[in-house]
Amino acid sequence: MKSFEIDENDPRTPLERMLAGDWYRADDPEIQAAFRHALEESDRFGREYPADPDGAQEILRELLGTFGEGAHVRAPLQVDYGSRLHIGEGTFVNFGLTALDVVDIRIGRSCQLGPNIQLLTPIHPLEPGPRRDGWEAAEPITIGDNVWIGGGAIIMPGVTIGEDSVIGAGSVVTRDIPVRSLAVGSPAKVIREL
């Protein structure tokens, strides 16, 4: 977890600081407009999905940062902004993904994500004063190709999961997982190579 330090002379906008993963406050109008846009589009995706699951994927092509050929996401989908969520070719995402994409979340090709997974990039200060004042930052999440994440898993800020790995259902992943590994538990631990 990064320490809380603010440069009072930092000329960047809150959005620029957010995108860099630095400390920012989300009450900025530009950030709030992007958040509202993502709420509206993910809601539209959720409404259109039951009648035409394949057609609704076109909404994601516009909302998400990248949406690979042959990828499929089941509704509902909850995102902070959408534009920093990247889903690779042929990846399948089951019901109820929550992707807090303050900074990039990159999901590789041919991945399988179970239902009700949380991908959480935001971090908050440990110090009570800055936390009370609404400061936050973020660290990216990277999921390699051909990863299977079981239902209900939580992937924490800054985590990288190596390709061909499996994360057990209900696991809380707080540290990087090497390639071709099976990790389970809370916090998740590698129990064997694959």
The 3-state DSSP composition of the chain as helix, strand, coil percent (nearest 5) reads 20, 30, 50
- Residue from 29, 57, 62, 27 nearest 45 by CA: 57
Query: CA of 101: how far to CAs of 8, 15, 116, 158, in Å?
Result: 26, 13, 16, 12
Q: Containing H/E element for 93?
A: strand 92-93
- Which residue among the candidates 37, 72, 86, 124 is catalytic per the annotation? 124
For residue 37, indicate whether it is catalytic: no
- Residue from 115, 174, 167, 170 nearest 146 by CA: 167
* Catalytic site positions: 124
